[in-house]
Amino acid sequence: MNSTEQNKDTPLILVVDDDKFTRIQLRKAMEQAGYQVAEAGDGEEGLSAYTRLRPDIVLLDAMMPVMDGFTCCHLLNTLSKDNSAARGENTPVLMITALDDQESVDQAFEAGAIDYITKPIHWAVLRQRVRRLLQASRAAAELQQQTERTRLSEERLRLALEAAQMGSWDWDIENGKVVYSSNTEASLGLAPGSFEATYEGFLESVHPEDRNLVTQAVQRALEQGADYDIEFRVIWTDGSLHWVATKGQVYYNQTGSVPVRMTGIDMDITERKHSEQKIREQAALLDIATDAIIVQNLENQILFWSKGAECLYGWNKEEAVGKNTNELLYKQTPSQLQEYSEILFAYGEWYGELHQVTKSGQVIIVESRWTLVRDDQEKPKAVLIVNTDITEKKQLERQFLRGQRLESLGTLASGIAHDLNNVLAPVLMSVQLLQLKLQDEQSKHLLSILETNTKRGADLVKQVLSFAKGIEGERTTIQVGHLILELKKIVQETFPKSIQLCTDIQTRELWTISGDATQLHQVLMNLCVNARDAMPNGGVLKICAENIIVDENYARMIAGAKVGSHIVVTVSDTGVGMSSDILDRIFEPFFTTKELGKGTGLGLSTVLGIVKSHGGFINVYSEVGKGTEFKVYLPAVQAKQVQQVEKDESKLPNGQGELILVVDDEASIAEVTKTSLETYAYRVLTASDGIEAVLVYAQHKEEISVVLLDMMMPSMDGPTTIRTLQKINPQVKVIAVSGLASKERVTEVANLGIKNFLSKPYTTQQLLQSLNEVISR
């Protein structure tokens, strides 16, 4: 048997199995769960190890040579019972068997097993069973020890009362003499016969703060015939403080008018007072606890309701005590509660999560721990419940899981973006080639539409990457009016006819802004979609834009506002509107008022992020039933119109017969690129992957002016190909091309000494200009 030095704070598990491989697996599983493990190879070794180590739980194989598991379990149970008086608990045995028939199960329980699990072992289930058995065993031991302590305390109290012998006293009021028994002198901390037998001498032993209490009680008894029954403190001669309870009766003369005698008994109640103080302190600790602590009887009637329960549920102690727990804390009693109760009575405890409701009707999630309390005869008496509010924790977990899903979507989006860019690249370049060859008006019109939408598709891919990976878009000078006109077409074609669209823009008078057109298009589109969803029965959607100069006074009225010239775009609707509570949270990530599956809660948080990244700010106004108005403020290009220079495609830089090596695993991209370059007087060689590119370059390195190289290819990727080409010719000129223009990719290329980078899909103009720059160096 293998064992290690036992740590008393860590549960020790004894594994008894004749199969060494199984023992190794069980040891690994239990040690990973944080337990200590000892092993035995058969039943006899197991009994010996149990006697020596006294483990907290035994994992016992049913089928073993020499002594089978059922016999071993019976003997272990016998040893455990013999040991339980000293330890305060029985060691639980968990049988592990390949037999799942009813006879074997019955035999396991008859032998004393507390639970069983069948092979093949489900490790998560095993760890859960072990954890619960250890918790149940620990709880049972603590409860038994607590019961024993309570019994001993009560026994000590009984003996103390008997030992006190309840001293007597007799006060002759006429001569002032008091006769005390020896027990009474002892209760006052005096040696027998040492007490000055007078009423004044008695008062000297009373605590100064209690003397007034005693004299007033005596005076009431003498003058009014009231009962003399009080408790007070006395100071013994050794300086210690003790409590005394006393009762007395007054006797009068024959006429009944003059008190002549008073007799009574004393008892030392110091120990009882100390016990009461401990109980008060424990009760105060329960009330200090932030968790809700509840004690209920077996009929679910509340017996104790802590301050923490008052804070969590809103019901005060007077309202809760005596009520049925299920009726008070649930709108509709969950059917699982019966199942949980069965587990509680079977194992002594239950642990799990519950959905409950507060006095105000708010639904909360609590982490609940139930413990069965037993009386002196070990019969169930009550249930102790400790509930912890985990509502906010669960919300954060859900947000974290959403974030993980979005991160996965971001990774997926990157791969899709690469593939889409490879699809769009030959389409865009083919369109531009056709524009040179087809000159009739209809063809020009159709090709123009195709080019515009292909570029829009590429921009949408960049938009996805921008959101998923935080890639910065290209900032250009933008006329907001043009964006709104594009948006107007989309809204008119896709929104329900019950929504009336109104626009108010003076394009020529509007200032321009510097920004990312695709991102700003996303901002306006999100606001319009939200407006549409707020008007399910139709209404008016209005979009307007105007120039505005934000001064200091105006800036102070709007959070995040900055002084200066701005374009303000207003998107308003006549929809359902929002309450102030919702309005305060609309920009929070993952917050949404839409049904599950109809909104991520990221739309407005994305809008705010884009606007802030452009140096702008947002103001929102809404009323329930009257609609909502979003005002987006974007910094303007100062006080002058920016002339839009149309690029003349006919003046693109031509080649001079230079030889270009185009390397791309997408045949359609390589072919269209080759045709485009040949149209502008370049000569072209192509290669479908990095290996072929190296072979072609090695044959024509003296002629090749530039290598146009895709960065993501099979067999040999772009970076590896570049390094290989640089070994052949350190001065090789390369333009890197990728459908995934991430910051990491651009940095990787730059580290290889490559300064020119093209993102797919690229236009003919971008390709020719990039080639011209590289060749002319």
Max intra-chain CA distance, the chain? 146
Let me know if 396 is exposed, middle or buried by CB neighbors in 10 A (0-12, 13-18, 19+): exposed
The DSSP secondary-structure symbol of 209 reads T
The DSSP secondary-structure symbol of 636 reads B
Residue 534: partners with Cβ closer than 8 Å, 6 or more residues away: 573, 575, 576, 577, 627, 628
Assigned architecture for domain 650-775: 3-Layer(aba) Sandwich (3.40)
626: helix, coil or strand?
Answer: coil
pLDDT in tens, 338-386: 889 889 999 989 989 899 999 988 889 999 999 998 887 888 888 989 9
CA distance 396 to 30: 31
Residue 152: partners with Cβ closer than 8 Å, 6 or more residues away: none
pLDDT in tens, 450-501: 877 777 677 666 656 655 554 455 678 888 888 888 888 888 888 889 999 9
pLDDT in tens, 721-756: 999 999 999 999 999 987 665 566 677 778 888 878
Q: What percent of the chain has pLDDT over 70?
A: 80
Tell me the sheet residues that pair with 247.
Answer: 229, 265
Question: Could you tell me which CATH class the domain 165-275 is placed in?
Answer: alpha beta
Higher-pLDDT residue of 134, 166: 134
CATH 3.30.565.10-classified regions of the chain: 472-635
CA distance 165 to 162: 6
Phi and psi at 369, nearest 5°, equal: -125, 120
Query: Model confidence at 142, in pLDDT bands (50, 70, 90)?
Result: confident
Question: CATH number of the domain at 472-635, please?
Answer: 3.30.565.10
Q: Is the pLDDT of residue 686 over 90?
A: yes
CA distance 326 to 334: 9
What local confidence, expressed as pLDDT, does residue 642 receive? Answer: 39
Query: Model confidence at 647, in pLDDT bands (50, 70, 90)?
Result: very low
710: helix, coil or strand?
Answer: strand
CA distance 717 to 750: 16
51: helix, coil or strand?
Answer: helix
Angle between helices 667-679 and 391-437 (to 10 degrees): 40
pLDDT in tens, 22-39: 888 889 989 988 899 999
What local confidence, expressed as pLDDT, does residue 643 receive? Answer: 40
Helices (H), 382-440: 391-437
Query: Model confidence at 641, in pLDDT bands (50, 70, 90)?
Result: very low
Which pair of tokens denotes residue 775? Answer: 């060749």
What local confidence, expressed as pLDDT, does residue 37 receive? Answer: 92
**Mean pLDDT of all residues in the chain?**
80
Sign of CA dihedral 424, 428, 429, 433: positive
Domain 289-389 is found in CATH 3.30.450.20: yes
CATH 3.40.50.2300-classified regions of the chain: 12-144, 650-775
Query: Model confidence at 332, in pLDDT bands (50, 70, 90)?
Result: low
Query: Model confidence at 162, in pLDDT bands (50, 70, 90)?
Result: very low
CATH 3.30.450.20-classified regions of the chain: 165-275, 289-389
Q: Which of the residue ranges 226-230, 420-424, 586-590, 600-604 would you say has the lowest mean pLDDT?
A: 600-604
Q: H-helix or E-strand containing 29?
A: helix 20-32
Query: Model confidence at 3, in pLDDT bands (50, 70, 90)?
Result: very low
pTM attached to this predicted model = 0.34
Assigned architecture for domain 12-144: 3-Layer(aba) Sandwich (3.40)
CA distance 531 to 511: 26
User: Residue 664: which of 740, 741, 717, 719 has the closest Cα?
Assistant: 717
Q: Which of the residue ranges 78-87, 196-205, 237-246 would you say has the lowest mean pLDDT?
A: 78-87
